[in-house]
Amino acid sequence: MSAPSDARLADVGRLVVRCPDRPGIVAVLSRLMADAGANITESQQHSSDPVGGTFTLRLEFVLADLATRRLQLEAALAGLAGEWQFTWRLTEAARKPRLAVFVSTADHVLQELLYRVGSGDLRAEVAAVVSNHLDLEPVARAAGVPFHHVPVTPATKDAAEARALELVGDVDLVVLARYMQIVSADFCSRFPERLINIHHSFLPAFVGANPYRAAHDRGVKLIGATAHYVTAELDAGPIIEQEVARVDHRATVEDMRRIGRYVERQVLAQAVTWHVEDRVIVEGDRTIVFA
């Protein structure tokens, strides 16, 4: 929750380690970090099961001159990885992940992401906005972000996706910010655990199109939004974050859409923030979120 002051951001690192759960792993890793001179400022761990489960550890640490000493730290980790069968991810907090944001015509989620990037609450760089419509070009331009118009029709979908991929180039995360198009399995496979969608219902309720209409017709008293990693199966990927808002019998479908927009932007922005801070780890169909 607490962000280190910018002055020393260059020294801040994050380490995520996963391995079969086994007594002693924390002792080994914390010894390694101590020996490397790293001061651990935040530590969270989770065992999917004390017996035969997977152990996940996330550390935030301060290590003077991290950029230089990073290789040394990675060598130490590599030296132990075999014995303890762990995989790891080491990131420097100073590095801003590059995002590609796919949108359609609704601007609320894009605006929120751009606002949070601008305010520094979301430490990332929006590298490109891609849309099948032109409506949001001014929003992207005003924020100084390249905008790519890639129309999509059922017939041209494959070509459109290929074109979009080419245009966005190398990015760390793709965000579907009310994109309203179902992306292909091939597209998904290019961004494993790096493709986040916002769905405008509390999944698994109201999968698919027009969830507010369906919610209205079912007479629910809470509407919701869900941010999840995208997998080949529609609206079925691992959930990162959900939130709801209360509605009553007076709410029309249009009211639900309006109220829901504020839930959607909050949920997606929160999910993206946790992702870029290496706080989300996929475990099967579920996520671990070290919030």
Q: Is 50 in the site for its own copies (CB under 8 A)?
A: yes
- Residues 107-136 close enough to bind its own copies by CB under 8 A: 107-108, 111, 115, 119, 121
Closest CA to 256 of 269, 266, 247: 247
> Does residue 235 have an active-site annotation?
yes
Q: Is 3 in the site for its own copies (CB under 8 A)?
A: yes
Closest CA to 33 of 2, 59, 9: 59
Q: Is 193 in the site for its own copies (CB under 8 A)?
A: no
With respect to its own copies, which residue has the nearer C-beta, 65 or 254?
254
Q: What are phi and psi of 197, to 5 degrees?
A: -120, 150
- Residues 264-283 close enough to bind its own copies by CB under 8 A: 266, 283
The catalytic position among 235, 248, 278, 285 is 235
Q: Is 250 in the site for its own copies (CB under 8 A)?
A: yes
With respect to its own copies, which residue has the nearer C-beta, 57 or 175?
57
Interacting residue with its own copies among 87, 217, 232, 233 (CB under 8 A): 217
Q: Is 30 in the site for its own copies (CB under 8 A)?
A: yes
Of 45-53, 127-135, 157-165, 182-190: span binding its own copies (CB under 8 A) = 45-53
Of 83-91, 128-136, 149-157, 257-265: span binding its own copies (CB under 8 A) = 257-265
Q: Is 203 in the site for its own copies (CB under 8 A)?
A: yes
Q: Is 220 in the site for its own copies (CB under 8 A)?
A: yes
Q: Is 27 in the site for its own copies (CB under 8 A)?
A: yes
Q: Is 286 in the site for its own copies (CB under 8 A)?
A: yes
Size of the site for its own copies (CB under 8 A): 69
Closest CA to 278 of 63, 60, 121, 101: 60
- Please check whether residue 239 is in contact with residue 286, taking contact to mean a CB–CB distance below 8 angstroms: yes
What separation, in Å, do the N-terminal and C-terminal C-alpha atoms of the chain show? Answer: 7
Q: Is 289 in the site for its own copies (CB under 8 A)?
A: yes
Distance CA 164, CA 158 (A): 10
Smallest separation, CB 272 to its own copies (Å): 15
Smallest separation, CB 100 to its own copies (Å): 23
Interacting residue with its own copies among 14, 47, 74, 92 (CB under 8 A): 47
Contacts of 269 (CB under 8 A, 6+ apart): 109, 112, 113, 116, 122
Q: What are phi and psi of 49, to 5 degrees?
A: -165, 130
Amino acid at position 244, single letter? V
Q: Is 33 in the site for its own copies (CB under 8 A)?
A: yes
Smallest separation, CB 173 to its own copies (Å): 19
- The residues assigned a catalytic role are 235
Binding site for its own copies (CB under 8 A): 1-3, 23-24, 26-27, 30-31, 33-34, 37-47, 50, 62, 107-108, 111, 115, 119, 121, 142, 202-206, 217-222, 224, 238-244, 247-252, 254-255, 258, 261-262, 266, 283, 285-289, 291
